Amino acid sequence: MQYLEDLEVGTETYFGSYEVTREEVLEFAGKYDPQPFHLDDDAAAATHFGRIAASGWHTAAMVMAVIARNVVAKGQAGLGSPGIDELRWLKPVYPGDTLHVRGTIIDKRESRSKPDIGIFRTKTTVTNQDDVPVMTFISNVLTRRRPAAD
Amino acid sequence: MQYLEDLEVGTETYFGSYEVTREEVLEFAGKYDPQPFHLDDDAAAATHFGRIAASGWHTAAMVMAVIARNVVAKGQAGLGSPGIDELRWLKPVYPGDTLHVRGTIIDKRESRSKPDIGIFRTKTTVTNQDDVPVMTFISNVLTRRRPAAD
């Protein structure tokens, strides 16, 4: 188990990558974000996207997939997130892109009200195969503190 | 078509509702957020969630589904979003919940660099069937301005 005490402020972690497929972009958009530039080649061509682009919420979900695989593999004692700040979709994400996900721990502290819980903040940066940043955000994450008996 | 000029600051819109199913919560979590409290009854029971809760990114996607249906139905000349601020997951979202989505336009302005484009900000509030707010966020949205010929 990885607890609050094991997290070091300033550490940058490479979480891994995610291949963006046309099939998945269309499936997600059809279900959750059916705006024409996410679903239709001609409609997308008429916008600044130029061609079908992934829903920004889909990009967020793909990025979470990469992060969550790591969290689960490391047995990080995470307890979910109360929120996200400054989420920026900097550039379109297209089918065929490969997303690379990195996170840096910005700060951490003990909970004021719950002695067994801590909170830390990370800045996540997502780049594509050309090393162009496509998305950034700051997450607030709850995690367990190391039990006294350990 | 609904353009920047047609949007009124201060207007609150009820966008509609979304039924959260256990099947969809498990499917999304399995694909994008496989943390135990989104997937496993016993693991969730051992956390502050109490039982399986939807991934926050899944809640965001379901909310986008409700908003996007409206945007597409109204023919809103939206051009995507450069980002989100102050996204807060206030309370867990559980299978069986019904989400209600409301948005208020906070401000709007013309683009400084592109005369045919405007940007507006909305505050989205998501409540459950008990009228408890479960999620809020502020979206920045790009939209077309009314062409001069209209």
> Per-residue pLDDT for chain A (150 aa), expressed as one digit of tens each?
788 898 899 999 999 999 999 999 999 999 999 999 999 999 999 988 999 999 999 999 999 999 999 888 877 767 888 999 999 999 999 999 999 999 999 999 999 898 889 999 999 999 999 999 999 999 999 888 988 765
ipTM of the complex: 0.92
Single pTM value for the model = 0.93
Give CA–CA dist B134/B54, Å, rounded. 11
Give CA–CA dist A146/A64, Å, rounded. 25
List the 16-55 stretch of A: residues with Cβ below 8 A of B: 28, 31-37, 47-49, 53, 55
Chain A environment of B87 (Cβ under 8 Å) = 83-85, 87
Helix (H) or strand (E) holding A23, with range, is: helix A22-32
Inform me whether the C-beta atom of residue B79 falls under 8 Å from chain A C-beta atoms: yes
Q: Are A52 and A25 in contact (CB under 8 A)?
A: yes
Residue A64, beta-bridge partner list: none
Chain B environment of A68 (Cβ under 8 Å) = 32-35
The Cα of B11 is separated from the nearest Cα of chain A by a number of Å equal to 22
